């Protein structure tokens, strides 16, 4: 009975245009899309870009839906009424309609650890579920079947848009290591696309970084999480937090050697293409995975 009710609500929302836009979003020529494989730092980038563009006030969990809406939490009807140019956030694999794309990529070993903790926190796996059992399922794309595997998602963009003027690749690790330089590069890209006269002075870059720090985002989550619709259901789970530590290289202290080997064996060529060093067998020349020709992937 309950399933029938929810199905009827879903049909009703579709008829009146209130269902989440997702991949069927209306695309305008001046749109800029932030996209990535899930658990790659997409939300952090959203805060950085939001605080960079709207310098009259900080981005919060309460206003982000009207400033940089998420494709899976906002209806197409609502987004069509937003001021243009728009910045939209999602996790879609290659979509030819997207003319301007900021693509975020993160070391898949850290992505795996983040997804593992997410699944534990949201109850998808029971407490104590072995990460050794999780990794093969993660590699197979079991948890993100509508987005593909990490490598499939990444290469869907790199093999089609890598040298396109409307495509900007941002490595999560570079953004953590050199936030000012990377944020300036993002500002330059936005100025070339649809946004004009973004203040990317050293003072504004520093302000943006401070307002978008993990500590600040966690503080905002504690204050506003109950009112943020996107988090409301997940926050009913005791101990769940949306903003974790987000450190780079944390996998080294979490993943067993066997799990590292499984990820590197599956996705070594793509990791090498993106300058992520392979740790198992990296000192053995015969064990190194060659850099692939992206046109053949």
pLDDT of residue 37: 98
- 218-261 tens-digit pLDDT: 887 777 665 544 444 444 444 434 444 567 899 999 999 999 99
State the chain's mean pLDDT as an integer. Answer: 84
- 263-282 tens-digit pLDDT: 999 999 999 999 999 987 44
Residues 6+ apart with CB under 8 A from 138: 112, 115, 116
C-alpha distance from residue 199 to each of 25, 51, 55, 100, 148 (Å): 29, 11, 9, 20, 37
- Which of 279, 215, 219, 217 minimizes the C-alpha distance to 253? 279
Percent of the chain with pLDDT over 90: 67
Q: Name the residue ranges covered by the structural domains of the chain.
A: 10-296
What is the reported pTM? Answer: 0.83
> Does pLDDT of 171 surpass 70?
yes
Angle separating helix axes 108-121 and 150-161, nearest 10 degrees = 130
pLDDT of residue 289: 37
- 133-166 tens-digit pLDDT: 999 999 999 998 899 999 999 999 999 998 999 9
pLDDT of residue 219: 83
- 6-34 tens-digit pLDDT: 333 344 444 445 689 999 999 999 999 99
- CATH architecture assigned to 10-296: 3-Layer(aba) Sandwich (3.40)
Q: How many residues comprise the chain?
A: 297
């Amino acid at each position: 009975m309950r399933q029938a009710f929810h199905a009827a609500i879903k049909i009703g929302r579709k008829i009146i245009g209130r269902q989440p836009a997702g991949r069927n979003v209306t695309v305008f020529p001046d749109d800029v899309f932030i996209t990535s494989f899930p658990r790659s730092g997409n939300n952090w980038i959203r805060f950085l870009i939001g605080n960079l563009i709207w310098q009259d006030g900080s981005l919060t969990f309460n206003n982000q839906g009207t400033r940089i809406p998420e494709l899976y939490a906002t209806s197409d009807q609502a987004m069509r009424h937003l001021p243009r140019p728009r910045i939209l956030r999602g996790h879609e694999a290659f979509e030819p309609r997207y003319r301007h794309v900021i693509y975020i990529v993160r070391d898949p070993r850290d992505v795996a650890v983040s997804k593992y903790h997410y699944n534990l926190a949201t109850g998808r796996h029971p407490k104590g579920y072995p990460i050794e059992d999780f990794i093969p399922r993660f590699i197979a794309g079991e948890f993100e079947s509508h987005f593909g595997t990490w490598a499939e998602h990444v290469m869907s963009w790199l093999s089609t848009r890598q040298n396109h003027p409307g495509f900007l690749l941002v490595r999560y690790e570079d953004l953590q290591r050199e936030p000012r330089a990377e944020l300036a590069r993002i500002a330059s890209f936005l100025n070339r696309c649809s946004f004009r006269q973004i203040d990317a002075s050293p003072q504004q870059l520093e302000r943006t970084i401070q307002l978008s720090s993990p500590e600040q985002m966690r503080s905002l989550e504690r204050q506003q999480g109950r009112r943020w619709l996107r988090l409301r259901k997940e926050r009913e789970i005791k101990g769940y937090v949306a903003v974790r530590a987000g450190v780079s290289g944390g996998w080294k202290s979490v993943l067993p050697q066997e799990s590292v080997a499984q990820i590197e064996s599956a996705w070594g060529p793509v990791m090498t293409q993106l300058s992520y060093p392979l740790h198992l067998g990296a000192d053995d020349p015969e064990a190194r995975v060659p850099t692939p020709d992206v046109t053949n992937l």
